[in-house]
Amino acid sequence: MAEQSVARTGTRHHRADRRFLDMFADDFGIRAFYSYALEGIPKKQAIAVAQWAADHIADEEERGEAIQAWAKKRGVGRYDRRLIDEPAPTYDGVNPDDLQGV
């Protein structure tokens, strides 16, 4: 009998999206504004960061600020440097901000 290979897949493709982060914010007692800082990172990593914050910080506002600071410091999630350094979006070569007075 021939051996069949079993594909071993990780979970890094399971990324935190808005729906997940809304539930996540309720579970960890932080405002959704702060949880959105983790948008796009692996869900396991987001849970680990929030669990650390919940274990070490009692105040909900400070917990959220710590999570946001973690994402900023590492340049991940909403603070991914690839997103921040990207040029402004255009439509047919025209920046929408230039059309304010038109």
Does residue 75 sit within a domain? yes
- pLDDT tens, residue by residue, 29-58: 899 999 999 999 999 999 999 999 999 999
- The closest alpha carbon to 32, from 78, 84, 75, belongs to 78
Domain assignment present for 1: no
Kindly state whether residue 71 falls inside one of the protein's structural domains: yes
Q: Indicate the number of domains in the chain.
A: 1
Whether residue 28 is contained in a domain is answered as: yes
Task: Determine, yes or no, domain membership for 61.
Answer: yes
Q: What percent of the chain has pLDDT over 90?
A: 53
User: 102 lies in a domain?
Assistant: no
Range of the domain at 56: 18-84
Pull the structure tokens for residue 60. 């909900």
SS3 42: strand
Q: What is the pLDDT of residue 6?
A: 61
Q: Is the pLDDT of residue 99 over 80?
A: no
Position 31 in a domain = yes
Structural contact between residues 40 and 16, judged by C-beta atoms closer than 8 angstroms:
yes
The first and second tokens of residue 48, run together, are: 């680990």
Is residue 95 included in any domain, yes or no?
no
- Say what the pLDDT of residue 13 is: 76
* Out of 3-7, 14-18, 72-76, least confident range: 3-7
Q: Which residues contact 94 (CB under 8 A, 6 or more apart)?
A: none
Higher pLDDT, 17 or 83: 17
